Amino acid sequence: MNLIIDIGNTVAKIAVFKDKDIVEVFYDSNQTLENLPDICAKYAVEKAIAATVIDLNEQVSAQLACLPVPLLWLNETTSLPVENLYETPETLGYDRMAAVVGACEQFPGKDILVIDAGTCITYEFVDAAGRYHGGNISPGVQMRFKALHELTGRLPLVSREGRRLPLGKDTDTAMREGVLKGMEYEISGYIMAMKHKYPELLVFLTGGDDFSFDTNLKSIIFADRFLVLKGLNRILNYNNDRI
């Protein structure tokens, strides 16, 4: 079995895979990886892969250093089943690459836009020949709400849940709709622009912040919450002989 560890800016995701299939997924603190000992005790793990977009504290580094199985760190030196055209592979967040690999595995030979809505929203493009062209980074939903509150004198911290109106009638509804509609327009804008350039485009939506919105583009959109984990699993299997 494979142990997959994806350490994000907000949450760590840990999964166990058997071949290509997810057996179980855990959400954990990125400061403690509390569930890791139990997971290792529960499953006959043979090898592991980890990707992180944060600097790990001593506790987490030590936990990973003493895993009882070989551990592959995903970084710019890792062999990948796609070609990486990012000009600074050493600064790339490898959760982005994992999502791309996960998408290519499901639809090889397709032009794909991957949208990952987590702490940040990332947009990645990989072409039908398996070349990752790069992509864009914008603020995630919680970050938008937090920025409006923290960088102004009078705006409260508004939560995503609550009354929605097409045009705000008070501060709460104005801010909620401003953030959520802004994200929806941003996401559908990317999809439309890329679809214009690549008519056969497929789109994957992933990340912890669920997004379903009205669009006539629905038929080309696949939602897959576990795309990064699946991509990491694919990369681990791809590197089987190298770890």
Ligand X SMILES: Nc1ncnc2c1ncn2[C@@H]1O[C@H](COP(=O)(O)OP(=O)(O)O)[C@@H](O)[C@H]1O
Distance of CA 134 to the CA centre of its chain: 14
Among 1, 53, 56, 243, binds ligand PAZ (CB under 6 A): 53
Q: Is 69 annotated as a binding residue?
A: no
Amino acid at 202: L
How far apart, in whole angstroms, are the C-alpha atoms of residue 157 and residue 31? 25
Are β-strands 71-73 and 47-52 bridged in parallel, bridged antiparallel, or unpaired?
Answer: parallel
Which tokens hold the place of 220?
């080309």
How far apart, in whole angstroms, are the C-alpha atoms of residue 140 and residue 121? 5
Q: Are 96 and 117 in contact (CB under 8 A)?
A: no
Q: Is 207 annotated as a binding residue?
A: no
Q: Which residue has the tokens 């070989």?
A: 70
* Burial class of residue 132 in the structure, from the number of CB atoms within 10 Å of its CB (0-12 exposed, 13-18 middle, 19+ buried): buried
Q: Does residue number 177 form part of the binding site for ligand PAZ (CB under 6 A)?
A: no
Nearer to ligand PAZ by Cβ, of 102 and 118: the residue is 118
In the complex, which residue's CB is closest to ligand X? Answer: 208
Nearer to ligand PAZ by Cβ, of 77 and 91: the residue is 91
Hey, which residues does 138 pair with through a beta bridge? 121
Q: Are 128 and 111 in contact (CB under 8 A)?
A: yes
Least separation in angstroms between CB 241 and ligand PAZ: 28
Q: Which residue has the tokens 């005790």?
A: 41
Segment lying near ligand PAZ (by CB under 6 A), choices 21-29, 69-77, 90-98, 191-199: 90-98
Q: Is 114 annotated as a binding residue?
A: no
Nearer to ligand PAZ by Cβ, of 45 and 98: the residue is 98
Least separation in angstroms between CB 32 and ligand PAZ: 17
Q: For ligand PAZ, what does the binding mask look like between residues 118 and 147, x meaning CB under 6 A?
A: xxx-x--------------x----------
Q: 19, 28, 95, 172: which is the annotated catalytic residue?
A: 95
- Three-class secondary structure of residue 156 per DSSP: coil
CA angle 127, 20, 199 (to 5 degrees): 20
Q: Does residue number 56 form part of the binding site for ligand PAZ (CB under 6 A)?
A: no
Least separation in angstroms between CB 199 and ligand X: 29
Q: Is 238 annotated as a binding residue?
A: no
Known catalytic residue: 210?
Answer: no
Q: Is 231 annotated as a binding residue?
A: no
Positions touching K ion (CB under 5 A) are: 116, 118, 120, 122
Positions touching ligand PAZ (CB under 6 A) are: 8-9, 53, 91-93, 95-96, 118-120, 122, 137
Task: Report, as residue numbers or ranges, the catalytic residues.
Answer: 95
